Amino acid sequence: MIKFVMAHCLADDSVSVDKSKALECMGDAFKGDEKEVTLLDINNINEDTLQKFIQNGQIDCLVFSPDTVVTPVGKSIVSSVLSNKDVANNCKIINLYSSQEEQDVKKSAEIGKLLLQENSESRLLHFDVNTDRVLFAQNLQGIRNDSVKSREKYQQLENDILDFTRSVVQNIETNKDEYTAKHIRSVSKIAEVIAQKRGISPEEIDILKIGALLHDIGKTDIADSVLKKPSRLTDEEFKEMRSHVTLGEIELNNYNLGDFERAKIIASEHHERYDGKGYPRGLKGDEIDELSRIVSLADSTQAMFGRSYQSGKKKDELISELKRCAGSQFDPKMVDTLCDVLDKEPELVYVSYDENENIIYDVPDTDKLLEDTMLSRNKREQDFFDSLKENTNPDLSEDEKNMDTSNSKDKEIGKDNKTIE
Ligand SMILES: [Fe+2]
Ligand SMILES: [Fe+2]
């Protein structure tokens, strides 16, 4: 469901607008559509939640009165919204007043100045709650329609990115090299587990998984005679093999990966080494993106699992080889984490060992990897909205929240600071 989020910063003791009248106005504007509208009282949201909210670009419209615009919280909210480009492009700012007194107009001008500094004055709209009610409702509906369109566009892009990733893996599997397709799926899983163990954020883990699935996209342009050669590569062949990183970078730059743009960095850095001796740029240590360092380790580890014409390492050999390369090829912190997993919880990365400690590995399904990504993104969004509902009234107990403490006008629109439903 696409939600429209309207945040307001109206003060109870406002002299320039009757708060309940303003809230009534907002309620009127969405009669019949209440379930899709979330109305938040900024005054009751804790700072962290609000920041997250702004960063996520999920405020569609901010409503102030002349008084609240000039309060510290009002100013800081407007600045936060303006400083985030994604939010700034989509968020309208509304000044609600109920008189034309000179003093109020002056105060309204304060927010105008702020917006003017940022060249965004056109996003500020003024309405008188007494005389402009119909106009206000029409404008809100218009803003909402624009927001719904931009959210739909956003969701479409997200779906396109996942479809693109799926098609890349399928194309490699069907038309190029089945082993490489398995390799990238396995790398994605190993990378995900390392990241989870290291406390990387869920948002970054999604990027990591997509980046891992795309990291060898450049291999589709490598000759089969080189890519599938069962023996050691000549210098010339090795040079061609190495070019898959740059070829992949060029290929990926043709696509808009939206929230997953960082996946391109992963693909272009997955053969960099912690000591700076990798390729193509010779980046060193923290110069290499953290997610790229994870994929680099997962990539080399997976290669040591073995393939049809080459037996893999045994458990101890694998772990000691990884430890030997900690600090030179790999980020040592990541190595510690992965060795722990391979030793104590190998099943997390679809690995087991036979009685002779030989590695047996399975590969996760592409659809499952992508489905999990989609589910976790949707769940996070839902949790986020739920947390907003919980945080809007942090000082009230559950019983108090359910008590009828609102005045009759607040009740008409379903309370001022809860989801209207
Ligand atoms: Fe590679
Ligand atoms: Fe790879």
Q: Kindly report the CATH number assigned to the domain that includes residue 84.
A: 3.40.50.2300
Number of domains in the chain: 2
Of residues 107 and 40, which shows the higher confidence score?
Answer: 40
Q: Is 390 in the same domain as 342?
A: no
What pLDDT is stored for residue 374 in this prediction?
83
Tokens of 19: 């708060």
What domain range includes position 132?
A: 4-152+376-412
Residue 393, in any domain of the structure: yes
CATH of the domain at 298: 1.10.3210.10
Q: Is 285 in the same domain as 385?
A: no
CA angle at residue 62 from 66 to 13, to 5 degrees? 40
CB atoms under 10 Å from CB of 316, counted, come to: 11
Tokens of 271: 């053969």
> What do you get for the CA distance between the two ends of the chain, in Å?
14
Return the beta strands (E) in 110-176 as ranges: 124-128
In the chain, % of residues over pLDDT 90: 48
Of residues 39 and 267, which shows the higher confidence score?
Answer: 267
**CA–centroid distance, residue 247 to ligand 1 (Å):** 11
pLDDT in tens, 381-391: 777 777 666 65
CB–CB of 416/406 below 8 Å? yes
Residue 300, in any domain of the structure: yes
Residue 161, in any domain of the structure: no
**CA–centroid distance, residue 166 to ligand 2 (Å):** 17
Q: Is 47 in the same domain as 90?
A: yes
Residue 160, in any domain of the structure: no
Q: Is 227 in the same domain as 274?
A: yes
**CA–centroid distance, residue 303 to ligand 2 (Å):** 8
pLDDT at 376 over 60: yes
Mean of pLDDT values over 153-180: 94
Nearest ligand by distance to the CA of 179: 2
Q: Is 142 in the same domain as 256?
A: no
Residue 355, in any domain of the structure: yes
| Segment among 183-187, 285-289, 322-326, 409-413 with least mean pLDDT | 409-413
CB–CB of 215/187 below 8 Å? yes
Q: Is 324 in the same domain as 188?
A: yes
Q: Is 257 in the same domain as 307?
A: yes
**What confidence tier does 161 reach under pLDDT thresholds 50, 70, 90?**
very high
Q: Is 58 in the same domain as 195?
A: no
Residue 299, in any domain of the structure: yes
pLDDT at 415 over 60: no
Residue 382, in any domain of the structure: yes
Q: Is 190 in the same domain as 324?
A: yes
Q: Is 29 in the same domain as 61?
A: yes
Of residues 334 and 46, which shows the higher confidence score?
Answer: 334
- Measured between alpha carbons, how far is 41 from 121 in angstroms, rounded to an integer? 23
**CA–centroid distance, residue 292 to ligand 2 (Å):** 12
What pLDDT is stored for residue 213 in this prediction?
98
| Segment among 15-29, 220-234, 358-372 with least mean pLDDT | 15-29
- How high does pLDDT run on average in the chain? 83
Nearest ligand by distance to the CA of 218: 1
Strand order from edge to edge, sheet including 92-97: 37-41, 4-9, 61-64, 92-97, 124-128
Q: Is 243 in the same domain as 206?
A: yes
- Measured between alpha carbons, how far is 21 from 410 in angstroms, rounded to an integer? 9
Residue 136, in any domain of the structure: yes
**CA–centroid distance, residue 102 to ligand 1 (Å):** 67
Q: Is 297 in the same domain as 187?
A: yes
Nearest ligand by distance to the CA of 186: 2
**CA–centroid distance, residue 298 to ligand 1 (Å):** 11
